[in-house]
């Protein structure tokens, strides 16, 4: 069965800062929303440990690593998200959130309502 193409649905770019629909390009070639035209991405390290250089090409923005070569923009954003979760940098003006107590729930096979 053939599904017809819908106009405007083939490629939708999202802003890397706020995840809104991106409509503008920065000087470095990064596609962002209208609120982040002046923003610059921070320096990002590759998984091999070397710094990534942002570039823009025919198919959009990408990054270049001296050891690994060219890397897709989406993969670099995933790497950045993973590394920032592992090593969060606390801001001094923000207070730590209150820690909630975790409650352990034990479910057995006799509880039929859980397995609906």
Instruction: Judge if 31 and 62 occupy the same domain.
Output: no
Range of the domain at 61: 42-87
Could you write out the DSSP letters of every residue in 23-90?
Answer: -EE-TTS-EE-GGGSS--PPP-B-TTSSBPEEEEETTEEEEEETTTEEEEHHHHHHHHHHHHHHS---
Contact 71, 64 (CB under 8 A): yes
Question: CA 7 → CA 35, 62, 69, 102, distances in Å?
Answer: 26, 26, 34, 48
Instruction: Judge if 33 and 20 occupy the same domain.
Output: yes
Contact 17, 40 (CB under 8 A): no
3 state DSSP class of 21: strand
Section 30-40 average pLDDT: 88
Q: How far is Cα 52 from Cα 43, in angstroms, rounded to an integer?
A: 7
In a domain, 68, yes or no: yes
Q: Is the pLDDT of residue 61 over 90?
A: no
Q: Does the reported pTM lie above 0.75?
A: no
In a domain, 96, yes or no: no
pLDDT tier at 41, thresholds 50, 70, 90: confident
Q: Is the pLDDT of residue 18 over 70?
A: yes
Token pair 């999202």 is at which residue? 14
Question: For the chain, how many structural domains are there in total?
Answer: 2
């Amino acid at each position: 069965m053939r599904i017809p193409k819908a106009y405007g649905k083939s490629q939708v770019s999202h802003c890397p800062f706020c995840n809104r629909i991106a409509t503008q390009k920065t000087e470095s070639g990064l596609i962002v929303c209208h609120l982040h035209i002046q923003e610059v991405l921070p320096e990002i390290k590759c998984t091999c440990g070397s710094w990534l250089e942002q570039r823009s090409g025919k198919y959009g923005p990408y990054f270049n690593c001296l050891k690994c070569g060219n890397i897709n923009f989406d993969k670099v954003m995933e790497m950045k998200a993973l590394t920032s979760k592992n090593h969060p940098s606390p801001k001094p003006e923000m207070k730590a959130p209150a820690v909630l107590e975790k409650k352990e729930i034990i479910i057995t096979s006799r509880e039929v309502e859980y397995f609906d």
